[in-house]
Every structure is written in structure tokens, then in C-alpha cells.
Amino acid sequence: MTVENLEPEDVARRLAEGSVLLVDVREANEFALERIEGALLVPLSTFDPQALPDPEGRKMVFQCRSGARSTTAAVRCLDAGLACGSHMRGGILAWKAAGLPTLAGEPA
């Protein structure tokens, strides 16, 4: 299996529909500075594919700053035999370049 690359606009649409669980694999300090609304933080530094939450029927999509760490997370899942090998191409940088909104500060 190969990693599925999703464009930011597609991820944004799927988030709005509630069909995606977006998993941010950046570190907590990066997430605290800026994040995508609805993203769940699971840092790559402590990433365990077996400990991921149940996506409850949604597609799990990984996201990071530029796309490198999210690709790594997706590959680790595929290597572990899990069917969650999707990531957002270009990360939060591409998300912002597409004019999509981010949130600043710690989640409430």
C-alpha cells in the first residue's frame, strides 16, 4: 500500500462534512502556536499506531507543518497493518497558502 496524498481543500471539505479525523503529528509547542480547528494532537515523537483513537467511521488523515512527518505517520500505520495511510499534502503551510483558517493559542 502507498500513502494517499490529500489536498488541503479536500481535507477542509471533509472536515466540514464530519467525514475526517484530522491528526496533527507536530509537537505540542507547534500545536499551541497554531492549529487547524478540529485537529487532534498526537506528536510523532511519541507516535504509536496501535494507540491511535478510533476514528468512529471517519477517514483518519495525518497533518504536520509541511507534509514530511505526516507521511512518516501514515507509513508507520500502513507498516503496522492499519488502514489509515492518508496525509494532507504540504501540511499546515499548504493549508494556509490555500487561504484556509487556523486557530492560534491552546485549545479550550
Contacts of 19 (CB under 8 A, 6+ apart): 58, 59
Band the pLDDT of 41: cuts 50, 70, 90.
very high
Cite the active site residues: 64
pTM of the model: 0.94
What's the count of helices (H) and strands (E) in the chain, helices before strands?
Answer: 4, 5
Band the pLDDT of 1: cuts 50, 70, 90.
confident
Residue 106 clears pLDDT 70, i.e. is over it:
no
Residue 108 clears pLDDT 60, i.e. is over it:
no
Q: pLDDT value at position 3?
A: 95
pLDDT tens-digit series, residues 42-70: 999 999 999 999 999 999 999 999 999 99
Q: pLDDT value at position 47?
A: 96
Annotate 68-87 with b (16+ C-beta within 10 A) or e (fewer): ebbbbbbbbbbeeeeebbbb
pLDDT tens-digit series, residues 14-36: 999 999 999 999 999 999 999 99
pLDDT tens-digit series, residues 69-81: 999 999 999 999 9
Q: pLDDT value at position 68?
A: 97
Angle CA(108)–CA(8)–CA(91) in degrees, nearest 5? 70
Question: Rounded CA gap, 73 and 76, in Å?
Answer: 5
